Amino acid sequence: MDRLSNEDERAAAHARLFCPAQVRAVLRWLGRLGVRRCHRADVAGQVWLTAWESWPRFDPKRGRPERWLKAITVHVASHYHECMERRREELVDLIDVADPAPDAAATMESDSIRTATIDAVNDLEPKLRFVLVAHDLKGVSMAQIAEDAGLPLSVIYKRRAKAIGALRDIIGLREDTEDFARRVGPQ
């Protein structure tokens, strides 16, 4: 009969402990014990894991279940603080960052590249240029381009691939011509 009453006490203690009110209580206790807010949920999870693992050893005759849970909370919080003391963060001096705005030479080079690319796109056949500009510059879906042009989707994909290849050839040819002109020099 004594065993039955002990089991009843354990069942009542279990119902009192593992409830939402105690979850909030553990979070409050951790706050009072100095656990940083950003770490409280993780530390509370460790408290509940420890409580669940040690529940078979809980004896309701030794004290109230809330007191037992509070002792576990203090122990876990203490372990948290020990770990935080051993943790080292090294702060470094601020690093001077170069001005992110491009300088005049970079702006001129960027403008030169942009102009050369526009010229190369304009040198494409009109049907290839249409697909490349619509999809890659204006963001129109390939299906929509096919529907607007009244062509099968596969044809549009082939035209885009051909346009990209032709664009590479045009840009490569221009670069080769410029390299040759620089090596030969002014006549």
147-176 mean pLDDT: 89
Query: According to the model, what pLDDT value does residue 151 have?
Result: 92
Check pLDDT > 60 for residue 141: yes
Task: Return the amino acid letter for 109.
Answer: E
Q: Where does the chain hold its CATH 1.10.10.10 domain(s)? A: 113-184
166-187 mean pLDDT: 77
Q: Nearest CA to 26 among 13, 10, 41? A: 41
Counting residues of the chain whose pLDDT is more than 70, the rounded percentage is: 89
Domain 113-184 has CATH 1.10.10.10: yes
d(CA 78, CA 88) in angstroms, rounded, equals: 18
CB-based burial label for 163 (10 Å; 0-12, 13-18, 19+): buried
Query: According to the model, what pLDDT value does residue 1 have?
Result: 44
Check pLDDT > 90 for residue 118: no
Angstrom distances, CA of residue 40 to CA of 12, 24, 116: 27, 11, 58
Residue 163 binned pLDDT confidence (cut-offs 50, 70, 90): very high
Read off the pTM. Answer: 0.43
Least reliable range by pLDDT among 16-20, 36-40, 91-95, 172-176:
91-95
Check pLDDT > 60 for residue 4: no
Number of CB atoms found within 10 A of residue 76's CB? 22
Condensed to tens digits (0 to 9), the pLDDT of residues 77-106 reads: 998 888 887 776 666 677 676 667 777 777
| Average pLDDT score over the chain | 84
Query: According to the model, what pLDDT value does residue 146 have?
Result: 93
Looking at per-residue pLDDT, the higher value among 73 and 55 belongs to 73
Fold of the CATH domain 7-86: Rna Polymerase Sigma Factor; Chain: A (1.10.1740)
Q: Where does the chain hold its CATH 1.10.1740 domain(s)? A: 7-86
Check pLDDT > 90 for residue 162: yes
